[in-house]
Amino acid sequence: MSLSKLFCDKSAAFSAKHERRKEARPGELLDAALDLFVEKGFAATRVEEVAAHAGVSKGTLFLYFSSKEELLKEVVRHNISGHFKDWNNQFECFQGSTAEMLGYCMSAWWERVGATRASGISKLMVCEARNFPDIAAFYQQEVIAPGQALIRRILQRGMDRGEFRQMELDYAVYSVIAPMMFLILAKHSNGVCVQDQAEMDPKKYIAAQLGTILHGLSMPPGDLAQPAENARA
* Segment 43 to 82, residues that bind DNA, using CB under 7 A: 45-48, 56-60, 62-64, 66-69
Q: Does 17 bind DNA (CB under 7 A)?
A: yes
Q: How many CB atoms lie within 10 A of CB 50?
A: 26
Residues 149-178 that bind a second copy (CB under 8 A): 155-156, 158-168, 170-172, 174-175, 177-178
170: partner contacted, choices a second copy, DNA, none (Cβ within 5-8 A by kind): a second copy
Taking the least distance from each CB to DNA, the nearer of 25 and 77 is 25
Helix (H, G, I), strand (E, B) or coil at 73: helix
Write the DSSP symbol of residue 227: -
Q: Which region, judged by CB under 7 A, interacts with DNA, from 16-24, 76-84, 154-162, 172-180?
A: 16-24
> Looking at 1, 16, 224, 225, which residue binds DNA (CB under 7 A)?
16
Contact residues for 39 (Cβ-Cβ < 8 A; gap 6+)? 45, 188
Write the DSSP symbol of residue 96: S
Kindly report each contact of residues 46-54 with a partner whose C-beta sits within 8 Å and lies 24 or more positions away, as own/partner: 47/71, 53/28, 54/26, 54/28, 54/29
- Residues binding DNA: what is the number (CB under 7 A)? 23
134: partner contacted, choices DNA, a second copy, none (Cβ within 5-8 A by kind): none
Contact residues for 94 (Cβ-Cβ < 8 A; gap 6+)? 6, 7, 101, 104
> Looking at 67, 128, 142, 151, which residue binds a second copy (CB under 8 A)?
128
179: partner contacted, choices a second copy, DNA, none (Cβ within 5-8 A by kind): a second copy
Q: Which region, judged by CB under 8 A, interacts with a second copy, from 11-19, 66-74, 103-111, 223-231?
A: 223-231
Is-contact 91 150, C-beta < 8 A? yes
> Looking at 1, 2, 14, 230, which residue binds a second copy (CB under 8 A)?
230
Helix (H) or strand (E) holding 148: helix 145-160
Q: How far is the CB of 51 from DNA (least distance, A)?
A: 7
Print the SS3 string covering 178-205: HHHHHHHHHHHCCCCCCCCHHHCCHHHH
Q: How far is the CB of 22 from a second copy (least distance, A)?
A: 15
Q: How many CB atoms lie within 10 A of CB 74?
A: 19
Is-contact 211 103, C-beta < 8 A? no
- Residues binding a second copy: what is the number (CB under 8 A)? 84
Taking the least distance from each CB to DNA, the nearer of 46 and 203 is 46
- Chain residues that interact with DNA, rule: CB under 7 A: 15-18, 21-22, 25, 45-48, 56-60, 62-64, 66-69
